[in-house]
Structures are given as structure tokens and as C-alpha cells.
Amino acid sequence: MDFETFLNATGEIGYVRRISSTIVFCDGLPGAKLSEVVIFENGEIGQVFSTNKDSIEIIVLSKGYIKVGTKVARTGQTFKINIGNHLFGNVISPTDLITFEGNDESADRIIESEPLGIDRRKNIGKPFETGVTLVDLMLPLGMGQRELLIGDRKTNKTQFVLQSILTQAQKGTICIYAAIAKKRTDVILFNKFAKNNKIDGKIITIASYPDDPSGLIYLTPYIAMTIAEYFRDRGEDVYLCFDDLTAHAKYYREISLLAGRFPGRNSYPGDIFYLHSRLLERAGNFIVEGSDKKSGEASITCMPVAEMVMGDFSGYIQTNLMAMTDGHLYFDRDYYNQGKRPPINPFLSVTRVGRQAQTPLLRELSRKITSFMVGYEKMKEFMHFGAELSEESQKMLITGDKISSIFEQSSISPRPFSLSILMFTAVWAGYWQEKDINGLKLELKKLSNLYMVNEEFRKQAESTIQNSPSFNHLVDSMKSSQSNILQMLSELK
Amino acid sequence: MSSQLLTKLRTKEDLEILIGELDLLDNALYQTDKKYDDVIHNDIRSWVSEIILNESIKTEMPVYIKELKNDLANIPIISASINFEPSTSFLELISDWLKKYVNEKMVVDLLLNSSTLGGIQLSYKGKYIDLSLRKKIVGEMETVKLISTNMYQ
């Protein structure tokens, strides 16, 4: 349908009166509604951003050549996207997806939808595996959790996202990566990563770039969330990552300032909290009705990324996002500079609902590690004063160093849950006591290889973990099979 | 204030000329002597200056101009696209009808659009109606196309 058809169908016309970058002010169109799609005389489209007494504000979604005096017509439609399996494996720009004309109700979805109510939500009960030992053991996440990834720029946040996407995609979860105003090279690298690891069949990448119109960048996370909801309603678990929402907020600020909104803190408009909260509220763990009419469970696990400046936790957008999410993983610049990978600071990170999804064994293990690591950190602080340490304290420091080395993980090498537990329990049980850190790292690498290659060993390890009612029981069974495992490792080259 | 001038305007062009004349008068405020006289007698059309002189007796000229400008800013304008150059009598006919039956202050913004082929396209306060010959023909063509498609199926 063209401009004329819409003009005759709605019987309403408007004229562009003022242009302010991507925002266009026009008069007329008395029946225009918020978020309605409008079409310009030259075929370009826009979305109603705000309605005033005498004029309406429109966000233009193309780098067009709209002039003052151009005619505008309403369409009576809001933006929809056509979703299907054709989206997997490719990098998709929001412009390729958005439409306002489709009538296929099964695949077309409105971008701005209301989050499901409390009656359709369920407690988070399944653990979410990231493949990062530190997170899986110390800061466990659950399927349907909203976890903020926060840190300075270049602190391996995206590496963590890649690692968790790889883990989840290999487990069959649908992964959606929303690159908001990202560099083209970064997006290409991401796509290459997916293809190289043969997980592109499980990944949808929605990307907008810094040179795209602000309106398109603004819509990117909403489109990604709409796609996630589509797959959730089909009963599938979805992992969604917004990279990153601070950039999104900046583009929204640009739009708002151009539209003449009153600037608030850091010049952000007053509705910046609502902008993100209405997006993140759409994630969670839900009760869905499958095609067989039986109700099941499906989740949207959402990880927004927030960039901070010089480790400033008190930034406006950052604190807003912390308030909306169920915890945050803090990527510490100091840890990064010390060479720790991943540079997640477990003491400043929070997970609010992940623990409830853990098995009793894991919960016990997690508590044990956390309390031990807190003591270890305190002891290290104490060491700065050059104090003489007791034998017990020295032992604690050595064990702490060894546990820290378990958490050292190269960027794209996801570790299964069981392997992480196995490594920790082995060290805790006193394996390789005579080895130094480098020797231990080598042994851990061997253990990892053995676990990945030897299926029998893997099954045995998994069943030992599953059959252990408590952590002490697990440590005991590891101790009893110590000679066996060490023998197997020594046979490995 | 309701000036006689408002009822005398017929087209948007007339409106723009009048606004230009009022701007000239407005600027004359800063002349040292015979502030408005020169402009009223030399630069403004005689019938306009006559009305202005009559109506500005009761109020001061700057106040009068300001009020008149405010009224002109809110004057209702109807846009009409036609495919021929209208004669003065035709314009008068349309304008008189509009002033009589719609709004006595209404002015017409006439646009020449040969693609309409005939008839008129009207828009007023964001409302739009296409009464052109082209729309009729396109509609008929669609019907013919539909019938012929059905015949061949």
C-alpha cells in the first residue's frame, strides 16, 4: 500500500512544519495515536513519538530526505515484526524486520506489548548455566533471571556474553543477541564466532549501528524482546542479551532533547526509567500453553549490559538498571589489570534469585566457597602489613590461591557445571597438594580434557555429583577415588 | 477584536499579503516622525489602509496591529487542489460560499495539481477528502481489473 491509499483510507493529512534531525514536527493528523506508524509522501515511514495540541512529533526511521511541507498520512497501524525460523544465523537490522502491513497473526507481533501479569509467571526453579565457573559456583543464575552485566569498557563483558551464549546454545536454548549501536566489526566478529562454533542455528542477532537513525537504535531492544516472546510462547527457553543499554539510553536522550523534552539528571528525560523497566519487565519465567494445550514453563533470561565510567557504580542509568534487575555481575577494572579472567568481582556482584534454583548440594558448595573466599580476601589484606602467619593461615592462603586458579578461565572455553564442581571438590579434598599454582593449572587442564574426552569418566563424575546428598559426602567420595582419578590423569599426555 | 479585514480575505495569498503589510506597519513604529502615515499612504493597499485607519481610532496603533496579527494567525484555512488556474469570479464564488455556509473568516489555499485530472482534493485541519477525477478513474480501473481476473480464472 502506498501513501495515497493510506491517505484516502484514513482521510487525514498532515504537513511537515519543522525538522530536527530524526524528529519531525507536523501539523494536522487529528486522530494520530502514540506509537502509530505514519507514512510520508516520499514513501518513508516514521512513528508517532508524542502528540501535542497543535502538532505531533514523529521519529523518522530512515536517513531520508524529508522537507518542510511534505505530506504525511496515518496508517492506523503500529510496528510489527515478522518472526520465524528464517531469522536464525543471520545478522538482522531492525529495518529488515519492521513492517506495519502484515496480517499473519501467527508470525506478526507488535513491538510494544504489555508484560505478562503475575498469574502467568512462575518462580525461577531451573539453574542457568553460563559455562563460567566463577559465576556458576559463586553467583549462580536461574532461567528467567534478569542479571545486569556491569563494568568499565573493555573489561571482557562481551566475552562473558559469548561464553554464556555458547554454553546455552549448545544446550539448545534460543539465544538472541541485541547489538545496540555496536561497531560493524564487532557484530561481524560475533557472527563469525557463532558460525565457527556451529551454534548459528540457535542464535538470532539484531544489530543497529552508530550511523543508523536514532529511531532505529531506540527500537532495537524492543524488537529483540518481541522475538524472545514469540519463542517463549512456543514453549522454548530464550536467552536474551542487550549489548548495551547505556548506549540505548544515550540515543533516547538524543531523541528526547531534539523533541524538546525537559532534561533531568545528566540531561536524560524523565521517562528513562520507564523506558528500560517496561522492557526488562517482559523477561522472566512464565507459564505458557503449548500446542498440545498443556501448560508448561518457558523463560526469557535477560542479561542487559551496562557500561560504567571509571568504576563509578553510582551512575544514573547504571543504578536504574540495578534497580530493575535481579542482580548484577561486576566486571572489575582492577581485576582485569591484575590479569584475572574473567574479571568478575564476586564480592561486589549480586544474584538475587539464582540460588533458589540450585540443588541443595550446589547451594551448600556455593555457600562454602563464598565464605571461604571472603576469609581468604581478608587474609590477603592482612598480609599487606607483613604479618607473620600461623600455619593454618598459610594453608588457607595456599588453598585460596588454588581455588582462585580454578576460576581462571580463558575467554571462550565454557565449563560444564559438573566439571566446575569436580575441579573445586578435587582441590578441596586435597588433590595435588604438593603442586604449585602452575602445576595445579596443568593438572586442572588435564582433568578438563579427561572429562571432555572420556565419556565413561564424565558419566561417573556426574552420577557421583548427583548421588551426593551433601558437600561433605561428595568430598569423601572424591577422596576415596583419588588414586583412581590421579592414575587416569597421569596416563594422559 | 473582529476586524472587517478578516471577512474580506479570500485566499491564503491575500492573507500573506496582509500579514506583510502589517509587518511594514509594525516596523514603522521605530521611525522618528509621522510614524505610520507614510506607510499607510504609500505602502499599503488603499482599501486596507482605509479600514485600518477607521478601526485604529479607538485603540493605539501597536495594540491594534498586535491583536489583528493574533487573529490572522488563527484564521481557518482550507486547502484545495484543482487542475486549472481559477478565474477571479470562480475564486469569489467559492470564497463566498465558504464564508456563508462554513465560516465567515475562512480563506482558501488553492494549489494547482494537474494530476487530479478534474474535481478537487480538500484538506482542512488535518482532515482530507479526495473528490478528484483521478481517484474515480483509478477506482474504476481496479474494478475492471478485478472483473477481468475473475473472468479468466
Q: Does B12 touch chain A (CB under 8 A)?
A: no
A87 and A215 fall within a common domain: yes
Which domain-ending residue is among A300, A333, A357? A357
A268 and A417 fall within a common domain: no
CA distance A327 to chain B (A): 49
Residue A21: CATH number of its domain: 2.40.30.20
Contact yes or no for B123 and A29 at CB 8 A: no
Residues of chain B contacting A28 with CB distance shorter than 8 Å? 123, 125-126
A279 and A309 fall within a common domain: yes
Helices (H) and strands (E) counted in chain B, each on its own, are 7, 4
Contact yes or no for B127 and A29 at CB 8 A: no
CA dihedral A445, A449, A452, A458 (to 10 degrees): -90
In this predicted structure, the answer to whether residue A388 has a pLDDT above a threshold of 90 is no
A184 and A271 fall within a common domain: yes
Which domain-ending residue is among A57, A78, A99? A78
CA distance B109 to chain A (A): 14
Beta strands (DSSP E) in A181-254 are 203-207, 238-243
In this predicted structure, the answer to whether residue B136 has a pLDDT above a threshold of 80 is yes
> Considering CB atoms only, which of B126, B129, B130 is closest to A30?
B126
b/e sequence B108-123, b meaning 16+ C-beta within 10 Å: bbbeeeeebeebbbbb
Residue A358 CA neighbour count, 13 Å, CB half: 24
Contact yes or no for A12 and B129 at CB 8 A: no
- Give pLDDT, residue B31: 72
Residue of B43, B56, B35 lying closest to B17 (CA atoms): B43
Total count of domains within chain A: 3
Which domain-ending residue is among A78, A110, A132? A78
User: What mean pLDDT comes out for the span A105-115?
Assistant: 81
Q: Percent of chain A beyond pLDDT 70?
A: 97
Residue A177: CATH number of its domain: 3.40.50.300
**Which of the four pLDDT bands, split at 50, 70 and 90, describes residue A39?**
very high
Contact yes or no for B128 and A7 at CB 8 A: yes
Residue of A189, A139, A130 lying closest to A160 (CA atoms): A130
Which chain B residue shows the shortest CA-CA distance from A12? B127
CA dihedral B104, B109, B112, B116 (to 10 degrees): -70
In this predicted structure, the answer to whether residue A38 has a pLDDT above a threshold of 80 is yes
Q: Are A335 and A345 in contact (CB under 8 A)?
A: yes
Q: Are A38 and A45 in contact (CB under 8 A)?
A: yes
Put residue A82 in one of left, alpha, beta given phi > 0 → left and psi -120 to 50 → alpha.
Answer: beta
- Give pLDDT, residue B26: 86
Residues 79-138 of B with CB under 8 A from A: 123, 125-130, 135
A70 and A95 fall within a common domain: no
In this predicted structure, the answer to whether residue B15 has a pLDDT above a threshold of 80 is yes
**Which of the four pLDDT bands, split at 50, 70 and 90, describes residue A490?**
confident
A378 vs A66, A382, A395, B113, B128, CA distance in Å? 63, 6, 14, 83, 75
Reported pTM: 0.87
In this predicted structure, the answer to whether residue B58 has a pLDDT above a threshold of 90 is no
Contact yes or no for A8 and B130 at CB 8 A: yes
User: What mean pLDDT comes out for the span B95-99?
Assistant: 90
- How many A/B residue pairs have CB atoms within 8 Å? 26
Residue of A72, A79, A77, A75 lying closest to A56 (CA atoms): A72
Residue A25 CA neighbour count, 13 Å, CB half: 12
A68 and A85 fall within a common domain: no
Residue with C-alpha cell 575441579?
A423
> Mean pLDDT across chain A, nearest whole number?
90
A371 and A349 fall within a common domain: no
> Considering CB atoms only, which of B127, B129, B135 is closest to A30?
B127
Distance from C-alpha of A398 to C-alpha of A448, rounded to nearest angstrom: 22
A270 and A327 fall within a common domain: yes
Residues of chain A contacting B125 with CB distance shorter than 8 Å? 28, 30
State pLDDT tens for residues A410-465: 877 889 989 999 999 988 888 888 888 888 888 888 888 888 888 988 898 888 88
Q: Which three cell numbers stand for residue A422?
A: 569436580
CA dihedral A306, A311, A313, A318 (to 10 degrees): -20
Question: Angle, to 10 degrees, between the axis of helix A471-480 and the axis of helix A417-429?
Answer: 70
Range from A200-209, A377-386, A422-431, B3-12 carrying the lowest mean pLDDT: A377-386
A420 and A451 fall within a common domain: yes
Contact yes or no for A28 and B123 at CB 8 A: yes
User: What mean pLDDT comes out for the span A138-152?
Assistant: 95
Neighbour count for residue A114 (Cβ, 10 Å): 9
**Which of the four pLDDT bands, split at 50, 70 and 90, describes residue A102?**
low
Return all residues near B12 (Cβ < 8 A) that are at least 6 apart.
Answer: B77, B107, B108, B109, B110
User: What mean pLDDT comes out for the span A328-343?
Assistant: 93
Q: For an interface test with B, which of A2, A13, A25 has the most B Cβ atoms less than 10 Å from its Cβ?
A: A13
A35 and A96 fall within a common domain: no
Q: Are A146 and A241 in contact (CB under 8 A)?
A: no
Q: What is the DSSP string of A322-390?
A: HHHSSEEEEE-HHHHHTT-SS-B-TTS-EESSGGGGS-HHHHHHHHHHHHHHHHHHHHHHHHTTT----
Residues 44-83 of B with CB under 8 A from A: none
A186 and A283 fall within a common domain: yes
State pLDDT tens for residues A338-376: 989 899 999 999 999 999 999 899 999 999 999 999 999
Residues in a beta bridge with A13: A73
Owning domain of residue A122: 81-357
**Which of the four pLDDT bands, split at 50, 70 and 90, describes residue A105?**
low
Return all residues near A182 (Cβ < 8 A) that are at least 6 apart.
Answer: A207, A208, A209, A210, A243, A247
A129 vs A171, A251, A274, A375, CA distance in Å? 9, 32, 30, 26
State pLDDT tens for residues A262-313: 999 999 999 999 999 999 999 999 999 866 667 789 999 999 999 999 988 8
A295 and A344 fall within a common domain: yes
In this predicted structure, the answer to whether residue A160 has a pLDDT above a threshold of 90 is yes
- Give pLDDT, residue A100: 85
